[in-house]
Structures are given as structure tokens and as C-alpha cells.
Amino acid sequence: MKLYNKSELMPLLESFGFNFSKSLGQNFLIDKNILDKIINNSNINKNTNVLEIGPGAGTLTYELCKCAKKVVSVEIDNALIPILEHNLSKFSNFTLINNDIMKIDLKKLIEDNFGSEKFIVAANLPYYITTPIIMNIFEGSFNVESMILMIQKEVADRIYADPGTKDYGALTVGVGFYASPEIICQAPPHCFTPQPKISSVVIKLNVYENSPYHVNNKEMFFKTVKSVFSQRRKTLVNSLSGSPFINCDKRDIEKALSNMGLDIKIRGEKLDIEQLAALSNYLFKN
């Protein structure tokens, strides 16, 4: 089955009376080269468990099922269920779940399907849930090895940004705290049907077993990060002392900055993840 061939995919979708939904971010992959890059870079083998988000017609799912031990795909659109059942019928290692990935109990889903075994996440993500789903998976502390994801280029730029640049922000730090990101390839609009207005990128997030950034208190670290980037035009001292998320005395922040050898007029967006971690450790001892 060559679902990446538009001439095979479209008649099949039509035979099921399927109509694409814009609001569900339905842009199906029709580029074999990109598909191969996703599979080849995901290091899948017969021992790998895969959680796929948004299988669509099953183009990526089909290739995942050929290589992996087990593939569990979560699809929200009822109209795609009979199509997926038809397209993936020959695979006994495939489980389809008709649900919303943002509402499902992720912990239970993972325990029920993978037990305590490691798994990877593979997805051509619907754009409207890209950031929350990535962060939900990280924050769940699951046994996830890596995530190979098709995302908007603009989000990839924010994940991969350097401190002090306009793209650097809470997402860069949030992802970088948990994983080392790797750009796999670009995917221009013509790689999908229907064509989206924007370009996409395949990115791999290699999840750390233990984050290289030591923080005394993860919750306070992330609140510090949120405070810094929600008021990024202010100096670090002003954004933290005026933050509604944390309670910090101006003098303690200035003391922490001078202990770290940083100018007290510095803006928070100049600090890399290590410096943000050190700062939150100064401010929140436990």
C-alpha cells in the first residue's frame, strides 16, 4: 500500500466519503522521501514501542507498523477510523484509539499499552496542539526515549533558538531542559495534501534520562522561566520582582545575579538554560 502516493490516497479517501477538516489540522503527508527520513531517523526496530498522535489515513502508521514492535495510534476524527482499520488491517502489532490526545488519560494509555517499557513518540502533529502536547509528554515523566515530530517551521525555530534571539523563549528552555533537539529535514507545503500555508520541519527530541540541568525545585524553575519570558522587555530583576507567579525580593535577585557574575541590568532572555537553572537555585533553595 502506497498511501504517500496522492493518486492512491485520494481515491481511497473518496471511496469512504472522507472530507478534510481544517480545524483538526488535517494535512496528510504525501512525500516518500520525508516519510523515509522520519523512519530512518527514528531508530525503530522490532523492540520499539511507538505512540503515534494523529495517524490520519495511516501513511506514517503503515511504515511504523512494518518496523516496530507495537504501534498505538490516537486519532480524534471518527471519520478516519474505518479508513485506518482498512489500511492497517494486516498488522497485528497495531492498536487504534479513537480519542482526543489532549483529553485522554495519557498515563493510563501508556501503562495499559507499554507497561513500564520505553517508547518513542512519532507524529505529524496537528499544528494547533503542537506545544501543549510536547510539554504534556515531558511533564508526565514517562519512559519516553525520543519524539520524532513534524511541526511548523516557526515552532522548530523557537525550539532551536539561541539565547538573546527573538525566537528564544519559554519553549526553547522547556524543551531544552528535557531533551536535546535535532533538526532532521524541512518539509515544504507541497509535501502535504491539502497544502498548508506554512512550511514544516521534522525534528527529533532526544529525551534525557536525567536532565543535565540540576534544579532544586522544578516547579519554581519553570515559574521563574515563565516570569522571565512573559515580561521579556523588562530587566530580569524587574520581571522577576514584579512577577505574579513567584514571590522574590529585588535585593535577593540582584545578589543572585552578582554571585553569578551577571550585570544586574541584564534581560532574562540573555540567560541560557544553565544560568536560568542556577538563578532559580539561588532564589529557591528547595
CB of 76 to ligand SAM, least distance (A): 4
CB of 79 to ligand SAM, least distance (A): 9
Cα-Cα end-to-end distance for the chain = 55
Q: Which of 44, 51, 71, 75 binds ligand SAM (CB under 6 A)?
A: 75
Residue 42 binding ligand SAM, by CB under 6 A: no
CA distances from 8 to 13, 87, 209, 233 (A): 9, 12, 41, 52
User: In the chain, which ranges are continuous DSSP H helix?
Assistant: 6-15, 32-41, 59-67, 81-87, 106-114, 130-139, 153-159, 170-178, 218-230, 236-241, 250-259, 273-283
Q: Which stretch binds ligand SAM (CB under 6 A): 69-77, 152-160, 182-190, 222-230?
A: 69-77
Q: Which stretch binds ligand SAM (CB under 6 A): 68-76, 174-182, 203-211, 218-226?
A: 68-76
d(CA 171, CA 122): 19
Which three cell numbers mark 21? 477538516
CB of 122 to ligand SAM, least distance (A): 9
Give the binding-site size for ligand SAM (rule: CB under 6 A).
23
CA distances from 187 to 17, 28, 56, 123, 152 (A): 28, 12, 17, 14, 9
Q: Are 235 and 266 in contact (CB under 8 A)?
A: yes
CB of 265 to ligand SAM, least distance (A): 43
| Residue 79, SS3 per DSSP | helix
Beta-bridged to residue 75, according to DSSP, are 98
| Residue 30, SS3 per DSSP | coil
**Nearest to ligand SAM by Cβ — which residue?**
54
Q: Which of 49, 51, 126, 256 binds ligand SAM (CB under 6 A)?
A: 126
Residue 124 binding ligand SAM, by CB under 6 A: yes
Q: Which stretch binds ligand SAM (CB under 6 A): 70-78, 107-115, 202-210, 247-255?
A: 70-78
Residues in 77-116 at the binding interface with ligand SAM, rule: CB under 6 A: 77, 80, 100-102
| Residue 41, SS3 per DSSP | helix
Residue 129 binding ligand SAM, by CB under 6 A: yes
Choice between 202 and 277, CB closer to ligand SAM: 202
Residue 24 binding ligand SAM, by CB under 6 A: yes
> Interface residues with ligand SAM (CB under 6 A)?
24-29, 53-56, 59-60, 74-77, 80, 100-102, 124, 126, 129
